[in-house]
Amino acid sequence: MPPLLHGGDHTGGKHMWRRLVEPMGLLFGQAAQEAIVQGCALPLHNGGTAFSMVRLIEGETVAGPMPVSAIPHTWLPVVQRLVSPVSDAGLPAGPLVMGILNTTPDSFSCAGQHFNVAHALQAAYQMVHDGAGVLDIGGESTRPGAAVISPQQEWERVGPVLEGLRQSMPAVPLSVDTRNSLVMERALAAGAQVINDVSALKHDPAALPLLADKNCGVVLMHMRGTPQTMEAHTHYTDVACDVVRELGQRVEAAVAGGIARERLMVDPGFGFAKTQEQNVALLRRVLLLANLGCRVVFALSRKRMIGALTGVADPAQRDSGTMAASLMALPLGNPLLRVHNVASMAQGVQVWQGVQDG
């Protein structure tokens, strides 16, 4: 195929995401490097994974699978999104395990065990010992039909834990899972390095201008509606393509609002405004997220889709399934794997890396 362009294709416009390239035929480690040199594969985000085949998607029209050598010249700007390096968004490089620290009394999985500040801090220390590269602290439940609380109530849950962690573990990157600008502002002032917003900055009009003036990483998650209404918004033409395109629009909105693209991360939002079948279809084609050119956050931990696939009713017993599903993000190079059981996930990442990169 002709030489790729220099620099990513980040031109705006409502039709920007009409064209998507789906990478296929993955190769790893030495095999990937040899195939790239021979011209029969391309590097995925300039990392250790290569893809030798693609599907070209324009609107609802799909062409392929085809070898990368057969990609038409007019598609090269789109291909560039997949091969360009992805920013680490201010966090350590490579795959990171993100430990979940819910300070809510009604968490679907933690059963309120981190609602007590001392218990939350103890759990955080253990997660870091087990291999967490970043901790994600949340004070508002966003499970389907969750009760709404005020931003002030949310901060009263998050603030003491965040401040305690910043004092006791100053080197550990901290993320705060919130959609409210009041919590965002206070969290950043207290030392948080990432804001993780399940609404992709749609919930609070003050959130985007606030974050535009900061230097933190920002996670944009895909969701339709709100946690209270999202189960009524599950109609998709093609769930994987639709999620990527809708996330792409949020990326463009954030950039237009003044947030540097290099600070952005994206989360496909498993379990949010998606049925069981749609969650599985999205996971199967997760490499489409490479079109967005952002670091990916994978948040599958103990969710209902894992229970449905395994027949395990107790969320706390779904860690093995969580690890198997989360590993599907590793070809993207530097994902954040957001999990409850850090030790299990960290071990899974080590094995995957030892085999594929060894």
Residue 249 sits at φ, ψ, to 5 deg, of: -65, -35
Q: Where are the beta strands (DSSP E) in 252-293?
A: 264-267
To which residue do tokens 């834990």 refer? Answer: 161
Say if CB 308 and CB 277 are below 8 A apart. no
* Cβ(295)–Cβ(86) below 8 Å: yes
What's the 3-state SS for 341-353? CHHHHHHHHHHHH
- The residue type at 99: G
The answer to whether 175 and 136 are in contact (CB under 8 A) is yes
Query: How far is it, in rounded angstroms, from Cα 299 to Cα 274?
Result: 14
The answer to whether 214 and 233 have CB atoms below 8 angstroms apart is no
143, burial (CB in 10 Å: exposed 0-12, middle 13-18, buried 19+): middle
Question: Which amino acid appears at position 121 of this protein?
Answer: L
Q: Which residue has the tokens 């189960």?
A: 231
202 included as an active-site residue: no
The reply to whether 157 belongs to the active site is: no
Helix (H, G, I), strand (E, B) or coil at 313: coil
Would you state the structure tokens that stand for residue 352, as one six-digit string?
A: 């995957």
Selecting among 157, 263, 285, 303, the annotated active-site residue is 303
Residues 300/345, Cβ–Cβ less than 8 Å: no
Decide: 194 and 175 in contact? Cβ < 8 Å. yes
Q: Find where tokens 């974050």 sit.
A: 211
Nearest Cα residue to 243 out of 269, 208, 280: 269
**Known catalytic residues?**
303, 338
